[in-house]
Amino acid sequence: MDSSSGGAVAASPAFSFSSPAPVENPSPHSKPRASYSSPRTSYRVETPSRSIPPSSSSSRTIYSDRFIPSRAGSNFALFDLSPPPSSAASSSSLDTGREDGSGAYATLLRTALFGPDQGVAPPATPDSSSPSVTGRNSSSSSSSSLPTTPSRNIFRYKVEVPRYSLAAQFEDGLPGFSHFHPRTPRKVPRSPYKVLDAPALQDDFYLNLVDWSSHNVLAVGLGNCVYLWNACSSKVTKLCDLGVEDSVCSVGWAQRGNHLAVGTNQGKVQIWDASHCRRIRTMESHRLRVGAIAWSSSLLSSGSRDKTILQRDIRAQEDFVSKLTGHKSEVCGLKWSHDNRELASGGNDNRLFVWNQHSSQPVLKYCQHTAAVKAIAWSPHVHGLLASGGGTADRCIRFWNTTTNSHLNCIDTGSQVCNLVWSKNVNELVSTHGYSQNQIIVWRYPAMSKLATLTGHTYRVLYLAMSPDGQTIVTGAGDETLRFWNVFPSPKSQNTGSDIGARTLGRSHIR
Protein backbone atom coordinates (compact mmCIF):
# COMPACT_ATOMS: atom_id res chain seq x y z
CA MET A 1 0.00 0.00 0.00
CA ASP A 2 1.29 3.43 -0.89
CA SER A 3 0.63 6.01 1.77
CA SER A 4 2.09 8.65 -0.47
CA SER A 5 3.62 8.47 -4.29
CA GLY A 6 11.29 11.60 -13.23
CA GLY A 7 15.69 13.93 -14.00
CA ALA A 8 16.06 15.77 -17.14
CA VAL A 9 17.77 14.37 -20.17
CA ALA A 10 19.63 16.90 -22.14
CA ALA A 11 19.81 16.32 -25.84
CA SER A 12 21.67 17.82 -28.75
CA PRO A 13 19.98 18.79 -32.02
CA ALA A 14 19.58 16.07 -34.65
CA PHE A 15 20.01 18.48 -37.58
CA SER A 16 21.22 22.01 -37.65
CA PHE A 17 21.78 24.88 -40.02
CA SER A 18 25.26 26.41 -40.19
CA SER A 19 27.10 28.96 -42.31
CA PRO A 20 29.02 27.39 -45.19
CA ALA A 21 32.73 27.15 -44.49
CA PRO A 22 34.87 29.41 -46.69
CA VAL A 23 36.31 27.55 -49.66
CA GLU A 24 39.78 28.27 -50.88
CA ASN A 25 40.09 29.44 -54.50
CA PRO A 26 41.31 26.75 -56.94
CA SER A 27 44.36 28.77 -58.02
CA PRO A 28 46.07 31.90 -56.68
CA HIS A 29 46.71 33.14 -60.26
CA SER A 30 44.33 34.08 -63.02
CA LYS A 31 44.54 32.50 -66.40
CA PRO A 32 45.57 35.16 -69.00
CA ARG A 33 43.12 35.71 -71.81
CA ALA A 34 43.88 33.39 -74.75
CA SER A 35 44.38 34.76 -78.22
CA TYR A 36 42.28 32.22 -80.06
CA SER A 37 39.69 33.34 -82.54
CA SER A 38 37.06 31.10 -81.00
CA PRO A 39 35.36 32.72 -77.97
CA ARG A 40 35.49 29.46 -76.04
CA THR A 41 38.17 26.81 -76.51
CA SER A 42 38.37 23.42 -74.83
CA TYR A 43 41.46 21.40 -74.03
CA ARG A 44 41.57 17.66 -73.76
CA VAL A 45 44.46 16.42 -71.67
CA GLU A 46 45.47 12.77 -71.40
CA THR A 47 46.97 11.27 -68.29
CA PRO A 48 49.85 10.95 -68.33
CA SER A 49 50.24 13.91 -70.66
CA ARG A 50 52.79 14.01 -73.41
CA SER A 51 55.43 16.66 -73.10
CA ILE A 52 55.61 19.11 -76.00
CA PRO A 53 58.66 21.25 -76.64
CA PRO A 54 58.22 24.96 -76.10
CA SER A 55 58.79 25.58 -79.78
CA SER A 56 55.71 23.63 -80.77
CA SER A 57 52.65 25.46 -81.98
CA SER A 58 50.34 26.84 -79.29
CA SER A 59 47.32 25.57 -81.19
CA ARG A 60 48.39 21.97 -80.86
CA THR A 61 45.79 19.93 -78.94
CA ILE A 62 46.73 17.68 -76.04
CA TYR A 63 44.45 14.74 -75.33
CA SER A 64 43.45 13.48 -71.92
CA ASP A 65 40.69 11.72 -70.04
CA ARG A 66 39.61 15.01 -68.44
CA PHE A 67 37.63 17.79 -70.03
CA ILE A 68 38.69 21.21 -68.73
CA PRO A 69 36.81 24.08 -70.33
CA SER A 70 38.56 27.39 -70.87
CA ARG A 71 36.53 30.38 -69.77
CA ALA A 72 39.09 32.90 -70.90
CA GLY A 73 36.93 33.87 -73.85
CA SER A 74 33.67 34.28 -71.91
CA ASN A 75 31.88 37.54 -72.60
CA PHE A 76 31.06 38.79 -69.10
CA ALA A 77 30.27 42.24 -70.46
CA LEU A 78 27.14 40.76 -71.98
CA PHE A 79 25.64 40.69 -68.49
CA ASP A 80 27.06 44.06 -67.39
CA LEU A 81 29.47 42.28 -65.07
CA SER A 82 32.70 43.40 -66.69
CA PRO A 83 35.44 44.83 -64.43
CA PRO A 84 35.12 48.48 -63.38
CA PRO A 85 36.97 50.78 -65.81
CA SER A 86 40.39 51.97 -64.71
CA SER A 87 39.62 55.63 -65.17
CA ALA A 88 36.71 58.03 -65.00
CA ALA A 89 36.94 58.67 -68.74
CA SER A 90 36.54 55.04 -69.64
CA SER A 91 33.69 54.82 -67.13
CA SER A 92 31.81 57.60 -68.84
CA SER A 93 32.37 56.04 -72.25
CA LEU A 94 30.96 52.73 -71.00
CA ASP A 95 27.67 54.33 -70.09
CA THR A 96 27.28 56.17 -73.39
CA GLY A 97 23.96 55.39 -75.01
CA ARG A 98 22.55 53.65 -71.93
CA GLU A 99 19.68 54.68 -69.75
CA ASP A 100 20.76 56.65 -66.71
CA GLY A 101 19.96 53.86 -64.25
CA SER A 102 21.71 50.98 -66.03
CA GLY A 103 25.20 51.84 -64.80
CA ALA A 104 24.01 52.15 -61.22
CA TYR A 105 22.20 48.83 -61.51
CA ALA A 106 25.34 47.10 -62.79
CA THR A 107 27.34 48.55 -59.92
CA LEU A 108 24.81 47.33 -57.36
CA LEU A 109 24.73 43.90 -58.97
CA ARG A 110 28.52 43.63 -58.90
CA THR A 111 28.55 44.69 -55.24
CA ALA A 112 25.87 42.16 -54.31
CA LEU A 113 27.62 39.30 -56.07
CA PHE A 114 31.29 40.03 -55.49
CA GLY A 115 31.41 42.41 -52.54
CA PRO A 116 32.26 46.10 -52.42
CA ASP A 117 35.27 47.48 -54.31
CA GLN A 118 36.04 44.19 -55.95
CA GLY A 119 37.04 43.77 -59.55
CA VAL A 120 35.35 41.01 -61.52
CA ALA A 121 37.48 38.49 -63.28
CA PRO A 122 36.21 35.70 -65.46
CA PRO A 123 36.73 32.35 -63.76
CA ALA A 124 40.17 31.17 -64.74
CA THR A 125 40.95 27.65 -65.80
CA PRO A 126 43.32 26.18 -63.20
CA ASP A 127 46.90 25.98 -64.38
CA SER A 128 47.83 22.52 -65.48
CA SER A 129 50.89 20.86 -64.06
CA SER A 130 51.74 19.67 -67.54
CA PRO A 131 55.05 21.00 -68.84
CA SER A 132 53.45 21.83 -72.17
CA VAL A 133 50.85 24.02 -70.59
CA THR A 134 53.48 25.68 -68.42
CA GLY A 135 55.59 26.41 -71.43
CA ARG A 136 52.70 27.84 -73.39
CA ASN A 137 51.66 30.15 -70.55
CA SER A 138 55.18 31.42 -69.91
CA SER A 139 55.15 33.52 -73.04
CA SER A 140 52.15 35.50 -71.85
CA SER A 141 52.85 35.49 -68.10
CA SER A 142 53.56 39.20 -68.13
CA SER A 143 50.07 40.02 -69.27
CA SER A 144 48.22 42.09 -66.67
CA SER A 145 45.08 42.95 -68.58
CA LEU A 146 42.85 41.03 -66.15
CA PRO A 147 42.67 41.38 -62.36
CA THR A 148 43.31 38.34 -60.21
CA THR A 149 40.53 36.12 -58.94
CA PRO A 150 39.15 37.27 -55.54
CA SER A 151 40.95 35.53 -52.70
CA ARG A 152 37.73 34.64 -50.90
CA ASN A 153 34.60 32.65 -51.53
CA ILE A 154 32.23 34.97 -53.35
CA PHE A 155 29.16 32.93 -52.46
CA ARG A 156 29.10 33.42 -48.71
CA TYR A 157 26.86 34.81 -46.00
CA LYS A 158 27.57 38.44 -45.19
CA VAL A 159 26.39 37.93 -41.65
CA GLU A 160 27.11 34.97 -39.44
CA VAL A 161 24.06 32.71 -39.44
CA PRO A 162 23.16 31.32 -36.00
CA ARG A 163 22.79 27.59 -35.60
CA TYR A 164 19.22 26.35 -35.46
CA SER A 165 17.78 22.91 -35.20
CA LEU A 166 15.40 21.65 -37.85
CA ALA A 167 13.58 19.85 -35.08
CA ALA A 168 13.16 23.14 -33.19
CA GLN A 169 10.67 24.23 -35.85
CA PHE A 170 8.22 21.66 -34.50
CA GLU A 171 6.85 21.44 -31.00
CA ASP A 172 5.60 17.96 -31.66
CA GLY A 173 8.03 15.13 -31.98
CA LEU A 174 8.35 11.43 -31.93
CA PRO A 175 8.49 9.87 -28.48
CA GLY A 176 12.02 9.78 -27.19
CA PHE A 177 13.27 12.18 -29.91
CA SER A 178 15.15 15.07 -28.30
CA HIS A 179 15.09 18.59 -29.60
CA PHE A 180 17.38 21.56 -29.11
CA HIS A 181 15.68 24.94 -28.77
CA PRO A 182 18.04 27.87 -29.28
CA ARG A 183 15.47 30.44 -28.27
CA THR A 184 15.36 31.83 -24.76
CA PRO A 185 13.46 29.55 -22.37
CA ARG A 186 9.95 30.71 -21.61
CA LYS A 187 9.50 32.44 -18.27
CA VAL A 188 7.11 30.68 -15.90
CA PRO A 189 5.87 32.73 -12.92
CA ARG A 190 7.17 31.16 -9.73
CA SER A 191 4.29 32.33 -7.51
CA PRO A 192 0.56 31.56 -7.70
CA TYR A 193 -1.60 34.46 -8.82
CA LYS A 194 -4.49 33.37 -6.59
CA VAL A 195 -4.85 31.32 -3.42
CA LEU A 196 -8.16 29.95 -2.15
CA ASP A 197 -8.73 28.51 1.29
CA ALA A 198 -10.29 25.05 1.08
CA PRO A 199 -11.19 23.84 4.60
CA ALA A 200 -11.52 20.07 5.04
CA LEU A 201 -9.67 19.25 1.79
CA GLN A 202 -8.53 15.72 2.61
CA ASP A 203 -4.88 14.69 2.67
CA ASP A 204 -5.50 11.30 0.98
CA PHE A 205 -3.32 10.15 -1.92
CA TYR A 206 -6.01 7.86 -3.39
CA LEU A 207 -8.74 10.49 -3.85
CA ASN A 208 -9.45 12.88 -6.75
CA LEU A 209 -11.26 15.89 -5.33
CA VAL A 210 -10.63 18.69 -7.86
CA ASP A 211 -11.76 19.07 -11.49
CA TRP A 212 -12.18 22.01 -13.91
CA SER A 213 -15.03 22.03 -16.43
CA SER A 214 -15.11 23.18 -20.04
CA HIS A 215 -17.41 25.99 -18.85
CA ASN A 216 -14.69 27.37 -16.56
CA VAL A 217 -16.20 26.11 -13.31
CA LEU A 218 -14.04 24.43 -10.67
CA ALA A 219 -15.56 21.59 -8.62
CA VAL A 220 -14.00 20.74 -5.24
CA GLY A 221 -14.95 18.05 -2.77
CA LEU A 222 -14.61 19.28 0.82
CA GLY A 223 -15.59 16.76 3.46
CA ASN A 224 -19.13 15.62 2.68
CA CYS A 225 -19.92 18.58 0.38
CA VAL A 226 -19.15 19.62 -3.20
CA TYR A 227 -18.56 23.29 -3.97
CA LEU A 228 -18.42 25.04 -7.34
CA TRP A 229 -16.21 28.06 -7.98
CA ASN A 230 -16.91 30.08 -11.12
CA ALA A 231 -13.55 31.25 -12.47
CA CYS A 232 -15.14 34.13 -14.43
CA SER A 233 -17.17 35.66 -11.61
CA SER A 234 -15.43 34.10 -8.55
CA LYS A 235 -18.88 33.08 -7.34
CA VAL A 236 -19.00 30.08 -4.97
CA THR A 237 -21.96 27.67 -5.01
CA LYS A 238 -22.64 24.72 -2.75
CA LEU A 239 -23.76 21.92 -5.06
CA CYS A 240 -24.56 19.13 -2.62
CA ASP A 241 -24.22 17.81 0.92
CA LEU A 242 -23.95 14.03 1.35
CA GLY A 243 -24.68 14.10 5.06
CA VAL A 244 -22.66 12.99 8.04
CA GLU A 245 -22.71 9.31 7.05
CA ASP A 246 -20.98 9.79 3.70
CA SER A 247 -18.14 11.84 2.18
CA VAL A 248 -16.87 12.89 -1.24
CA CYS A 249 -14.05 10.77 -2.70
CA SER A 250 -13.95 11.95 -6.33
CA VAL A 251 -15.42 14.50 -8.70
CA GLY A 252 -15.38 14.53 -12.50
CA TRP A 253 -16.93 16.82 -15.12
CA ALA A 254 -18.41 15.47 -18.32
CA GLN A 255 -16.41 16.51 -21.37
CA ARG A 256 -19.20 18.81 -22.52
CA GLY A 257 -22.17 20.21 -20.71
CA ASN A 258 -22.81 20.81 -17.02
CA HIS A 259 -22.99 17.24 -15.69
CA LEU A 260 -20.78 16.45 -12.71
CA ALA A 261 -20.17 12.94 -11.38
CA VAL A 262 -19.54 12.55 -7.65
CA GLY A 263 -18.03 9.36 -6.20
CA THR A 264 -18.75 8.71 -2.54
CA ASN A 265 -17.23 6.79 0.34
CA GLN A 266 -20.19 4.39 0.35
CA GLY A 267 -19.53 3.22 -3.20
CA LYS A 268 -22.18 5.36 -4.90
CA VAL A 269 -21.86 7.52 -8.01
CA GLN A 270 -24.18 10.52 -8.29
CA ILE A 271 -24.81 12.55 -11.44
CA TRP A 272 -25.62 16.23 -10.90
CA ASP A 273 -26.84 18.98 -13.22
CA ALA A 274 -24.57 21.79 -12.04
CA SER A 275 -26.46 24.55 -13.85
CA HIS A 276 -29.59 23.81 -11.80
CA CYS A 277 -27.91 22.24 -8.73
CA ARG A 278 -30.13 19.20 -9.22
CA ARG A 279 -29.25 15.52 -8.82
CA ILE A 280 -30.19 13.50 -11.88
CA ARG A 281 -29.55 9.96 -10.68
CA THR A 282 -27.64 7.79 -8.24
CA MET A 283 -25.84 4.61 -9.33
CA GLU A 284 -24.56 1.96 -6.96
CA SER A 285 -22.94 -1.51 -7.43
CA HIS A 286 -19.52 -0.66 -5.95
CA ARG A 287 -19.02 -2.18 -2.51
CA LEU A 288 -16.35 0.31 -1.35
CA ARG A 289 -15.39 3.96 -1.96
CA VAL A 290 -15.14 5.35 -5.49
CA GLY A 291 -11.87 7.27 -5.70
CA ALA A 292 -11.49 7.65 -9.49
CA ILE A 293 -13.88 8.85 -12.23
CA ALA A 294 -13.40 9.32 -15.98
CA TRP A 295 -15.85 10.38 -18.71
CA SER A 296 -15.98 9.28 -22.36
CA SER A 297 -18.93 11.03 -24.01
CA SER A 298 -21.99 9.45 -22.38
CA LEU A 299 -19.93 6.61 -20.88
CA LEU A 300 -18.77 7.05 -17.29
CA SER A 301 -16.03 4.86 -15.78
CA SER A 302 -15.65 4.55 -12.01
CA GLY A 303 -12.77 2.92 -10.13
CA SER A 304 -13.21 1.65 -6.60
CA ARG A 305 -11.43 0.29 -3.59
CA ASP A 306 -13.19 -2.99 -4.36
CA LYS A 307 -10.58 -3.43 -7.20
CA THR A 308 -13.12 -3.14 -10.03
CA ILE A 309 -13.91 -0.62 -12.75
CA LEU A 310 -17.54 -0.20 -13.78
CA GLN A 311 -18.53 1.16 -17.18
CA ARG A 312 -21.77 3.11 -16.91
CA ASP A 313 -23.92 4.47 -19.73
CA ILE A 314 -25.93 7.29 -18.19
CA ARG A 315 -28.57 6.86 -20.93
CA ALA A 316 -29.27 3.27 -19.87
CA GLN A 317 -31.42 2.22 -16.93
CA GLU A 318 -28.85 -0.26 -15.61
CA ASP A 319 -26.29 0.94 -13.06
CA PHE A 320 -23.47 -0.36 -15.27
CA VAL A 321 -23.05 -2.01 -18.66
CA SER A 322 -19.76 -3.84 -18.04
CA LYS A 323 -17.27 -4.62 -15.29
CA LEU A 324 -13.50 -4.53 -15.76
CA THR A 325 -11.44 -6.77 -13.50
CA GLY A 326 -7.70 -7.18 -13.29
CA HIS A 327 -6.36 -4.96 -10.52
CA LYS A 328 -5.40 -6.65 -7.25
CA SER A 329 -5.85 -3.55 -5.12
CA GLU A 330 -7.68 -0.20 -5.08
CA VAL A 331 -8.10 1.59 -8.41
CA CYS A 332 -6.87 5.15 -7.84
CA GLY A 333 -6.26 6.50 -11.39
CA LEU A 334 -8.49 6.53 -14.49
CA LYS A 335 -8.09 8.42 -17.78
CA TRP A 336 -9.67 8.01 -21.21
CA SER A 337 -7.55 8.76 -24.26
CA HIS A 338 -8.45 11.84 -26.30
CA ASP A 339 -10.02 9.75 -29.05
CA ASN A 340 -12.09 7.85 -26.43
CA ARG A 341 -10.77 4.51 -27.64
CA GLU A 342 -8.55 3.50 -24.75
CA LEU A 343 -8.91 3.67 -20.97
CA ALA A 344 -5.83 3.71 -18.76
CA SER A 345 -6.15 2.64 -15.13
CA GLY A 346 -3.67 2.71 -12.27
CA GLY A 347 -3.91 0.87 -8.99
CA ASN A 348 -2.38 0.47 -5.58
CA ASP A 349 -1.06 -2.87 -6.89
CA ASN A 350 1.64 -0.87 -8.77
CA ARG A 351 0.04 -1.82 -12.09
CA LEU A 352 -0.87 0.29 -15.11
CA PHE A 353 -3.48 -1.28 -17.41
CA VAL A 354 -4.90 -0.20 -20.77
CA TRP A 355 -8.39 -1.28 -21.84
CA ASN A 356 -10.35 -0.76 -25.04
CA GLN A 357 -14.06 -0.08 -25.41
CA HIS A 358 -15.01 -3.73 -25.73
CA SER A 359 -12.62 -5.53 -23.39
CA SER A 360 -13.35 -6.94 -19.96
CA GLN A 361 -9.65 -7.75 -19.48
CA PRO A 362 -6.76 -5.35 -19.98
CA VAL A 363 -5.24 -5.40 -23.45
CA LEU A 364 -1.93 -3.97 -22.19
CA LYS A 365 -0.27 -4.49 -18.82
CA TYR A 366 2.67 -2.48 -17.51
CA CYS A 367 4.30 -3.62 -14.30
CA GLN A 368 7.50 -1.53 -14.14
CA HIS A 369 6.30 0.85 -11.43
CA THR A 370 7.23 -0.12 -7.85
CA ALA A 371 4.53 1.90 -6.08
CA ALA A 372 0.89 2.92 -6.54
CA VAL A 373 0.01 4.46 -9.90
CA LYS A 374 -2.37 7.38 -9.51
CA ALA A 375 -0.86 9.91 -11.95
CA ILE A 376 -1.96 9.16 -15.55
CA ALA A 377 -2.02 11.47 -18.60
CA TRP A 378 -2.57 10.91 -22.34
CA SER A 379 -0.70 13.18 -24.72
CA PRO A 380 -2.96 15.37 -26.90
CA HIS A 381 -0.10 15.74 -29.40
CA VAL A 382 1.05 12.17 -30.15
CA HIS A 383 -1.43 9.35 -30.62
CA GLY A 384 -0.92 6.50 -28.15
CA LEU A 385 1.58 8.36 -25.95
CA LEU A 386 0.82 7.72 -22.28
CA ALA A 387 2.56 9.07 -19.17
CA SER A 388 2.28 7.56 -15.70
CA GLY A 389 3.77 8.34 -12.30
CA GLY A 390 4.57 6.15 -9.31
CA GLY A 391 4.24 6.68 -5.57
CA THR A 392 6.76 7.15 -2.79
CA ALA A 393 8.75 3.96 -3.37
CA ASP A 394 8.91 4.62 -7.13
CA ARG A 395 9.10 8.41 -7.75
CA CYS A 396 9.35 7.89 -11.52
CA ILE A 397 7.49 9.25 -14.52
CA ARG A 398 7.35 6.67 -17.29
CA PHE A 399 6.29 7.08 -20.92
CA TRP A 400 4.62 4.39 -22.98
CA ASN A 401 3.64 3.95 -26.62
CA THR A 402 0.39 1.99 -26.46
CA THR A 403 0.32 1.67 -30.25
CA THR A 404 3.53 -0.35 -30.34
CA ASN A 405 3.30 -1.57 -26.73
CA SER A 406 6.72 -0.17 -25.86
CA HIS A 407 8.32 1.58 -22.89
CA LEU A 408 9.84 4.86 -24.11
CA ASN A 409 11.49 6.58 -21.16
CA CYS A 410 11.78 6.76 -17.38
CA ILE A 411 12.55 9.89 -15.33
CA ASP A 412 13.31 9.75 -11.61
CA THR A 413 11.74 12.89 -10.09
CA GLY A 414 13.00 12.34 -6.55
CA SER A 415 9.52 12.65 -5.04
CA GLN A 416 6.21 10.85 -4.94
CA VAL A 417 4.31 11.55 -8.20
CA CYS A 418 0.72 12.52 -7.38
CA ASN A 419 -0.63 13.93 -10.67
CA LEU A 420 0.23 14.50 -14.32
CA VAL A 421 -1.42 16.71 -16.92
CA TRP A 422 -0.35 17.48 -20.49
CA SER A 423 -0.51 20.98 -21.97
CA LYS A 424 -3.06 21.44 -24.74
CA ASN A 425 -1.08 24.20 -26.43
CA VAL A 426 2.57 23.06 -26.37
CA ASN A 427 4.40 19.77 -25.99
CA GLU A 428 4.92 20.13 -22.24
CA LEU A 429 3.50 18.55 -19.13
CA VAL A 430 3.27 19.35 -15.46
CA SER A 431 3.64 16.99 -12.50
CA THR A 432 2.77 17.49 -8.85
CA HIS A 433 4.61 15.75 -6.06
CA GLY A 434 4.35 14.68 -2.45
CA TYR A 435 6.98 13.19 -0.18
CA SER A 436 9.36 14.68 0.24
CA GLN A 437 9.58 17.95 -1.66
CA ASN A 438 5.89 18.81 -2.30
CA GLN A 439 6.82 20.60 -5.52
CA ILE A 440 5.25 21.28 -8.93
CA ILE A 441 7.44 20.74 -12.01
CA VAL A 442 6.87 21.93 -15.57
CA TRP A 443 8.64 19.69 -18.12
CA ARG A 444 9.42 20.10 -21.81
CA TYR A 445 8.79 16.87 -23.70
CA PRO A 446 10.52 14.80 -25.05
CA ALA A 447 13.80 16.13 -23.64
CA MET A 448 12.19 16.17 -20.16
CA SER A 449 14.10 19.29 -19.24
CA LYS A 450 12.70 21.27 -16.33
CA LEU A 451 11.20 24.60 -17.33
CA ALA A 452 10.20 25.52 -13.77
CA THR A 453 9.94 24.10 -10.27
CA LEU A 454 7.14 25.72 -8.27
CA THR A 455 6.88 25.56 -4.49
CA GLY A 456 4.46 26.96 -1.96
CA HIS A 457 2.35 24.08 -0.69
CA THR A 458 3.41 22.80 2.71
CA TYR A 459 1.73 19.40 2.24
CA ARG A 460 1.65 16.86 -0.58
CA VAL A 461 0.27 18.34 -3.81
CA LEU A 462 -2.39 15.68 -4.23
CA TYR A 463 -4.83 17.41 -6.59
CA LEU A 464 -4.38 18.97 -10.02
CA ALA A 465 -6.66 20.33 -12.75
CA MET A 466 -6.19 22.50 -15.83
CA SER A 467 -8.30 25.42 -17.09
CA PRO A 468 -10.26 25.00 -20.33
CA ASP A 469 -7.95 27.40 -22.20
CA GLY A 470 -4.95 25.26 -21.25
CA GLN A 471 -2.92 28.07 -19.69
CA THR A 472 -3.67 27.78 -15.97
CA ILE A 473 -3.47 24.94 -13.50
CA VAL A 474 -4.93 24.69 -10.02
CA THR A 475 -3.29 22.56 -7.34
CA GLY A 476 -4.69 21.38 -4.03
CA ALA A 477 -2.96 19.98 -0.97
CA GLY A 478 -3.52 18.81 2.57
CA ASP A 479 -2.59 22.33 3.72
CA GLU A 480 -6.22 23.12 2.77
CA THR A 481 -5.38 25.59 0.03
CA LEU A 482 -5.97 25.78 -3.71
CA ARG A 483 -3.30 27.62 -5.67
CA PHE A 484 -3.62 28.91 -9.23
CA TRP A 485 -0.55 29.09 -11.48
CA ASN A 486 0.03 30.42 -14.99
CA VAL A 487 2.37 27.81 -16.43
CA PHE A 488 1.47 27.26 -20.11
CA PRO A 489 1.30 29.69 -23.05
CA SER A 490 -1.86 30.46 -24.95
CA PRO A 491 -2.53 28.68 -28.26
CA LYS A 492 -1.54 31.78 -30.30
CA SER A 493 1.00 33.58 -28.15
CA GLN A 494 3.28 32.49 -25.35
CA ASN A 495 3.03 35.93 -23.78
CA THR A 496 -0.74 36.19 -23.63
CA GLY A 497 -2.10 35.55 -20.18
CA SER A 498 -5.39 33.82 -19.57
CA ASP A 499 -8.49 35.68 -18.55
CA ILE A 500 -8.21 34.07 -15.16
CA GLY A 501 -4.56 34.85 -14.77
CA ALA A 502 -5.20 38.52 -15.53
CA ARG A 503 -7.11 38.88 -12.32
CA THR A 504 -5.43 40.44 -9.33
CA LEU A 505 -3.45 38.32 -6.92
CA GLY A 506 -5.46 37.57 -3.86
CA ARG A 507 -6.45 35.08 -1.23
CA SER A 508 -10.07 34.27 -0.54
CA HIS A 509 -12.28 31.48 0.79
CA ILE A 510 -13.92 28.88 -1.38
CA ARG A 511 -16.72 28.77 1.15
pLDDT confidence of 487, banded at 50, 70, 90? very high
Mean pLDDT, range 308-332, rounded to an integer: 94
Domain 194-509 annotated CATH 2.130.10.10 = yes
User: What are the E-state strand segments in 244-328?
Assistant: 248-253, 259-264, 269-273, 278-283, 290-296, 299-304, 308-313, 322-325
pLDDT at 162: 41
Q: Tens digit of pLDDT for each residue in 26-84?
A: 444 444 443 334 444 444 444 444 444 554 445 566 665 666 666 666 665 655 555 55
Q: Rounded distance, CA 443 to CA 452, Å?
A: 7
pTM: 0.63
Let me know: does 425 contact 470? Beta carbons within 8 Å.
yes
Q: Tens digit of pLDDT for each residue in 229-287?
A: 999 999 999 999 999 999 999 999 998 879 999 999 999 999 999 999 999 999 999 99
Mean pLDDT, range 349-371, rounded to an integer: 94
The residue extents of the domains of the chain are 42-138, 194-509
In the three-class reduction of DSSP (H, G, I as helix; E, B as strand; rest coil), residue 333 is classed as: strand
Mean pLDDT, range 308-314, rounded to an integer: 94
Q: Tens digit of pLDDT for each residue in 85-106?
A: 544 444 444 444 444 556 777 7
pLDDT at 436: 86
pLDDT at 74: 61
Average of per-residue pLDDT values in the chain? 76
Q: Which of 379, 374, 427, 457 is nearest to 178 (CA)?
A: 427
| More confident position, 19 or 398 | 398
pLDDT at 185: 72
| Torsion of the alpha carbons at 384, 379, 176 and 399, rounded to the nearest 10 | -80
pLDDT at 357: 84
pLDDT at 60: 62
Let me know: does 264 contact 286? Beta carbons within 8 Å.
no
